[in-house]
Amino acid sequence: MLASSMTKRRIWFITGSSKGLGRALAETVLEQGDAVVLTARNPELIQDLAATFSEHTLAVQLDVTKPEEVQEAVKQAITKFGRIDVLVNNAGYGILGAIEEVSNEEVRCQFETNFFGVLELLRTVLPYMRQQGNGHIVNISSVGGFVGYAGTGIYNGTKFAIEGISEALAQEVTPLGIKITIVEPGAFRTDFVTRSLVIADSEIKDYETAIGEMRQGARDILDNKLEFQEPGDPKKAALAIIKAVNSKNPPLRLALGEDAIYAINAKLESVKTELDTWKEVSLNTAFDELVSSST
């Protein structure tokens, strides 16, 4: 246990701290004076951060698909810092391919990391937060957790699932002093495409019209034939997440980026239009005697 000077410093536990948004968030949190449990499948990739902020970090090996490593990482965090104030479920990757193209093995691997890894972590950390009577869980989703796109359906499925359990969890734990925030980033200038995107092994010619251009673009980026300059700044995304965590009334959903705002608004408008268009059909589904008794 660290000295009493740690009592006012929040303890963050961030998965996928070695790269991308996780790395940017870990660096920014440390720069602002909080402590971070840095986690990565390859701990060597976070040793520089751990060395720079040696008194305020704990570097832990963590593959979120391995429950024993999840249990051990949380145990080490509690042993060193005594608590976890903010859990950030950030580790994940994407798979590109039509629903029919992605193999069963690829689907299961995607869900093991993006969904079951998140579930394992939050269920491991929640008992400590319940005992503390406070805490904040930040689940990194995506604009693709709210809007589905051709070619990323399996990835969308994992993120939609995260959003569903997060909504329910917020209702369950808010009375216990625990807050939940779902983060929905658009395109940010990380190495997601080059290091965290997998292209499905199988290709079906009939889907070329729907996703062929997207697939070729991803390949061109991976082969260094095309440079993709995403508009989002990871540092600013990190600051936005910290601002939400600092808020007395943090949002359940935090969209990041103009592209995310545009896509989510378009989806909401589309859902509302369709709901209104089919309202009469939707309402005309009760037993006739119930309709008659209410008129």
Active-site amino acid positions? 141, 155, 159
Helices (H), 82-116: 104-111
In the chain, which ranges are E strands? 11-14, 35-40, 57-61, 86-89, 94-96, 135-140, 178-185, 197-199, 253-256
Are 93 and 65 in contact, with CB atoms under 8 Å apart?
A: no
Phi-psi region at 177: left, alpha or beta (left = phi > 0; alpha = psi -120 to 50):
left
Residue 287 CA, distance from chain mean position: 42
At residue 138, φ and ψ (nearest 5 deg) are -110, 115
Q: Which helix (H) or strand (E) holds 67?
A: helix 67-81
Structure tokens at 177: 């002093």
At residue 286, φ and ψ (nearest 5 deg) are -85, 160
Phi-psi region at 257: left, alpha or beta (left = phi > 0; alpha = psi -120 to 50):
left
Closest by Cα among 140, 137, 117 to 127: 137
